[in-house]
Amino acid sequence: MRELFTPPDALFDPVTGAARAGSFRGDLPRVDLAPLAPRRLHRLLRRKRWTYLAIASNEVFLAVAVVHLGYLALAFGVAFDRAGRRLLVDRSMFGPPFAASVGDGAGGGGSARAWLPGARVRIDRPRGEASVTATAAFRGFELHARLTSRAAPPALSVIAPMPGGLLATTEKRLLLDAEGEASVLGRRISLDGALAGYDYTDGLLPRRTTWRWALALGRAESGERVGMNLGEGFVGDAECALWIEGELVPLAEGRFTFDAARPLDPWRVRTADGAVDLGFAPGAAHSNHTNLGVLASEFMQPIGLYSGTIRLPDGRVLELRDVLGVTEDQDITW
């Protein structure tokens, strides 16, 4: 089983200049990529960063994101109805780079903001506080939420070298307690008691980057709060983990079986060692198919329900039944 270390105080060793690569239990240090890419133009073309926020309640799965590609900004908001297994709202907006910002970390003082036509998003974690505030406004969808981490397990953070001398960093945190409300097509939805999580990613990434990803948020049949993050490709098993009540448990790299031509057919989501063995039943999908020359994206993110088993290192077996979450298939040239 992969060991999780204490996060370093900086991305790079001050003596050797080498990246302090690893998988860590706790927040990322400030993401300063200037030592690796001192030229501003290089950072403009290669630096990609985003904050993705998810909230799962008994009624809905909500997701908002701010993405900064250096030369382009993107924000999206999605609301999925659990009972009807359908998208209620799916909005994506592109704009110039000055219309969004993503900070140099997700910890205290971290923020992500977008002020695009038809999209307003603000995600903040005030310095010294154990909570994240999130507001968003899209056509037909508004969000006002506070996500508290005091009772949650720690974040999983990764510093990972990439091909071509590049570097990726990411911080994931699940099982945050949510409070607040959303308005979806005029329907008021309380988020009190919902579970939430975020994905902050920032790095100098290869021109073509691909990955598959799985996120689950809910409760096991035995009652434990459970959050799962699995990836295949990109930074590999370094970002794969299970949050269960107060524990953070490393997982092996994910393995995804699905029909790319029929993404709403059932998926199989496993780990390389078989400890995770889940079926995923999509209800709908948030997707993006873009070809702007400099940017070409084939992005598919089905939203639906997970069922199956997760075997823990201590021998416990968790059974999941109809737990909300997403899968994702991403192939992007940027």
Tens digits of residue pLDDT in 99-128? 999 999 988 889 999 999 999 999 999 887
**Which tokens in the block code for residue 286?**
């948030």
- 28 pLDDT band, cuts 50/70/90, is very high
User: For residue 75, which of 62, 83, 66 has the smallest C-alpha distance?
Assistant: 66
What does the alpha-carbon distance between residue 46 and residue 229 come to, in Å, rounded to a whole number?
25
- 206 pLDDT band, cuts 50/70/90, is very high
| Separation in Å, CA 123 to CA 51, 74, 108, 180, 256 | 8, 14, 12, 14, 31
| pLDDT higher than 80, residue 1 | no
**Among the listed ranges 32-36, 40-44, 68-72, which one has the minimum average pLDDT value?**
40-44
For residue 51, the model assigns a pLDDT of: 98
Average pLDDT for residues 22-42, to the nearest whole number? 94
In this structure, is the dihedral angle defined by the CA atoms of residues 8, 10, 16 and 19, taken in order, positive or negative?
positive
Which residues, 6+ apart, have CB-to-CB distance to 290 below 8 Å?
296, 297
User: For residue 275, which of 256, 258, 252, 306 has the smallest C-alpha distance?
Assistant: 252
| pLDDT higher than 90, residue 293 | no
**Which tokens in the block code for residue 272?**
């390389």
Task: Report which secondary-structure segment, H or E, holds 121.
Answer: strand 119-124
> Torsion angle of alpha carbons 316, 321, 322, 327, nearest 10°?
40
What mean pLDDT value characterizes the chain? 96
What does the alpha-carbon distance between residue 197 and residue 329 come to, in Å, rounded to a whole number?
20
What does the alpha-carbon distance between residue 233 and residue 186 come to, in Å, rounded to a whole number?
40
- Relative to beta strand 187-190, strand 166-184 is antiparallel
User: For residue 221, which of 316, 109, 327 has the smallest C-alpha distance?
Assistant: 316
Which residues, 6+ apart, have CB-to-CB distance to 181 below 8 Å?
144, 145, 188, 189, 190, 191
| Separation in Å, CA 202 to CA 47, 54, 116, 262, 272 | 7, 18, 21, 31, 26
Q: What percent of the chain has pLDDT over 90?
A: 92
pLDDT digits over 151-188, tens only?
899 999 999 999 999 999 999 999 999 999 999 999 99
pLDDT digits over 81-91, tens only?
999 999 999 99
Cβ-contact 255, 271 below 8 angstroms: yes
In this structure, is the dihedral angle defined by the CA atoms of residues 15, 21, 23 and 26, taken in order, positive or negative?
positive
- 292 pLDDT band, cuts 50/70/90, is confident
DSSP 242: E
